[in-house]
Structure 1
Amino acid sequence: MNIVMIAFAGISCIPYYFKYESRKPQTRETVVLAVMVSLTVMSRIIFGIIPGFKPVSAMVIICGMVFGRESGFVCGSMSAFVSNFFFGQGPWTVFQMFSWGMIGWIAGILNRKQILEKNRLTLMIYGIMAGIFFSMLMDVWTVLAAGEEFQWTRYIAILATSIPVTVEYCVSNVIFLWILTPVLIKKLSRVKYKYGFFDEREIQQ
């Protein structure tokens, strides 16, 4: 059962990669996305000495906001995969990939009409929700790591004991979004419009 759930988490990422490729992104767009992944990986490594307090989610959210949901997912999932060559690969990696990927995907959806970009309060609330979402999904792995079948009672107990770490996730997301968003949104938007990186929604408009 544990192996099945781990495999399911990994396989769940595949449709999002196909979705990104189906857009037939420009080479320049892929290069910019690779740079975003690199920056996100470096940010995780730099803050590696402080567990739970990292700019990863903030960087992924910003990427999704600017370049769209597909790019947001790729940025989040690949940042987890690449950075774990430094932190250590394992079955938990697929849960991190899916968690951070979905955070970027949802950010892209929410910002389709610049909901997050124009309303900082909404952005901060999403940062908090992203911290809770990440913690809840990673706690699924914590239960599986115990080596037994998934148990809801154990999962709820772990959720309760991980509240301090979850709060740290949420606080770090709010702080880094508050600091990074004004600067990165402006610079990345310039790159986006200079090189014509538009998502499907914008092309239709």
Structure 2
Amino acid sequence: MGKIKRFVYAGSIIAVIVLLAAVLWFEEYYLPLSFLVIGLAIIPFFIRFERKRLRTEEILLVAMLGAIAAVSRVPFAPLPSVQPTSFVIIMAALAFGAETGFLVGSIAAVVSNIFLGQGPWTPWQMFCWGMIGFTAGLLKDSLWMNRMWGRNLFGFLWGFLFGWIMNLWFLIGFYDQLSWPVFVSAYVASFYFDLAHALSNVFFLTLFSGVWMRILTRVKSKYGLLNPEDTPVKLPRSP
């Protein structure tokens, strides 16, 4: 089974590289090929989760965290890019690891768009929020994620990265001819929204990360959920 998993992952990576090259070569197929790239980047995570032997409580926990991340986005809809969704995803990843972080982020995008509207942007949001959780999980044992400034810097940077990646689907979906002036104008226009996302991440991480981590750590240690052999990040009481 291990060989099959490695074959699937390696095949997905190769396919993504080939499709990315095709996107750059065949300009008229930017949008459909980009969707294939995003899909192939997401599929291995769901395959791995599907093949794992998980208890009902563990599946329920992932679904619950994804639902919390999704629902927390809805009340802030009138404020563009200001929402605690990224914060919830980061905390889930710090407590339960990179794979759980990716799944929570992907679920949050799909579920929240049930209320806010599904569209061609949904797969891109699944990928972006999933990668926020994935990278947070990869760095959860690093020194800088154990410090307030490190977590805030991580959230701030991903506020901009999220917007920059999402700009790509807008550009390839609505512009027939891409050029540097078009790229620059799109990214300049999104600066306010990216900054709002980055600052909201810093706000929620500063105020609530300590409380959330203590709650999630207690749930993990008490019930032994989602890779109990991993040690969640321990947040200090003061910055």
Structure 1 residue identity aligned to 2:58: E
Pick from 52, 56, 70 the counterpart of residue 85 of structure 2: 56
Pick from 147, 150, 155 the counterpart of residue 127 of structure 1: 155
Does residue 199 of structure 2 align to residue 171 of structure 1?
Answer: yes
Aligned mates of 2:164, 2:83 — CA distance in 1: 17
Pick from 216, 219, 222 the counterpart of residue 188 of structure 1: 216
Structure 1 ranges of 4+ moved more than 6 A: none
Aligned mates of 1:180, 1:30 — CA distance in 2: 25
What is the DSSP-based 3-state SS (H/G/I as helix, E as strand, rest coil) of the residue aligned with 2:176?
Answer: coil
Aligned mates of 1:102, 1:150 — CA distance in 2: 26
Aligned mates of 1:114, 1:95 — CA distance in 2: 30
Pick from 76, 94, 97 the counterpart of residue 126 of structure 2: 97
**Larger deviation, residues 141-150 vs 24-33:** 141-150
Q: CA deviation at 1:10?
A: 2.4
Tell me which structure has the larger Cα radius of gyration.
2
Aligned mates of 1:34, 1:115 — CA distance in 2: 28
Alignment RMSD: 1.8
Q: How many residues align?
A: 202
Does residue 174 of structure 2 align to residue 161 of structure 1?
Answer: no
TM-score normalised by length of structure 2: 0.79
Q: CA deviation at 1:200?
A: 8.0
Aligned mates of 1:33, 1:152 — CA distance in 2: 41
Aligned mates of 1:152, 1:5 — CA distance in 2: 19
What is the DSSP-based 3-state SS (H/G/I as helix, E as strand, rest coil) of the residue aligned with 1:50?
Answer: coil
**Larger deviation, residues 22-31 vs 52-61:** 22-31
Q: CA deviation at 1:113?
A: 4.5
Q: CA 1:96–1:125 in 2, change beyond 3 Å: closer, same or farther?
A: same
Pick from 104, 112, 118 the counterpart of residue 75 of structure 1: 104
Q: CA deviation at 1:28?
A: 1.1
What is the DSSP-based 3-state SS (H/G/I as helix, E as strand, rest coil) of the residue aligned with 1:106?
Answer: helix
CA offsets 1:31-90 (integer angstroms, 9 cap, x no match): 111111111111001111111100011110111110110100000011001111111111
Q: CA deviation at 1:125?
A: 0.3
Structure 2 residue identity aligned to 1:40: A
CA offsets 1:153-181 (integer angstroms, 9 cap, x no match): 42232112211111101000100111221
What is the DSSP-based 3-state SS (H/G/I as helix, E as strand, rest coil) of the residue aligned with 1:98?
Answer: helix
What is the DSSP-based 3-state SS (H/G/I as helix, E as strand, rest coil) of the residue aligned with 1:44?
Answer: coil
Structure 2 residue identity aligned to 1:78: I
Structure 1 residue identity aligned to 2:188: A
Aligned mates of 1:187, 1:158 — CA distance in 2: 40
What is the DSSP-based 3-state SS (H/G/I as helix, E as strand, rest coil) of the residue aligned with 2:225?
Answer: coil
Q: Tell me if structure 1 keeps the 8 A contact 2:70–2:85.
A: yes
Does residue 94 of structure 2 align to residue 65 of structure 1?
Answer: yes
Q: CA deviation at 1:147?
A: 4.3
**Larger deviation, residues 165-174 vs 106-115:** 106-115
Q: Structure 1: which 5+ residue stretches go unaligned?
A: none
Aligned mates of 1:11, 1:84 — CA distance in 2: 21
Percent of paired sites with the same residue: 31
Does residue 76 of structure 2 align to residue 47 of structure 1?
Answer: yes
**Larger deviation, residues 118-127 vs 27-36:** 27-36
CA offsets 1:116-166 (integer angstroms, 9 cap, x no match): 1x2111000000111011011100011022142554542232112211111
Q: Tell me if structure 2 keeps the 8 A contact 1:143–1:151.
A: no
Aligned mates of 2:219, 2:160 — CA distance in 1: 31
Structure 2 residue identity aligned to 1:93: T
